[in-house]
Amino acid sequence: MSTPAVQLNRPAPVIRTVSASRVACDGLTNSPVLGHPRVWLSIPPGQDFVDCPYCDARFVQVGGEGQGH
């Protein structure tokens, strides 16, 4: 069995800055037919980001609620 080819020139994931520790992601397309199902993500305590499991968008928390710095 052969292994799938690795795509080396993938675009960098989208990085969004947020102030809340809970965010929603639907593929960041602003279109109901594109993207992926809306998922709610929580930034874990002690961490300042969370990645979407569908599209790899990264949500980075800067200031705002739950920021213990």
For each of the domains in the chain, give its residue range(s) and CATH number, in order of start. 15-61 (2.60.260.40)
Confidence check: pLDDT of 69 > 60: no
* pLDDT per position as a tens digit, 9-62: 767 788 999 999 999 999 987 776 788 999 999 999 999 999 999 999 999 999
Closest CA to 43 of 58, 56, 27: 58
Spatial separation of the C-alpha atoms in residues 30 and 48, rounded to whole Å:
25
pLDDT value, residue 67: 47
pLDDT value, residue 3: 66
Spatial separation of the C-alpha atoms in residues 39 and 65, rounded to whole Å:
20
Confidence check: pLDDT of 6 > 50: yes
Q: What is the pTM of this model?
A: 0.72
pLDDT band at 68 (very low <50, low <70, confident <90, very high): very low
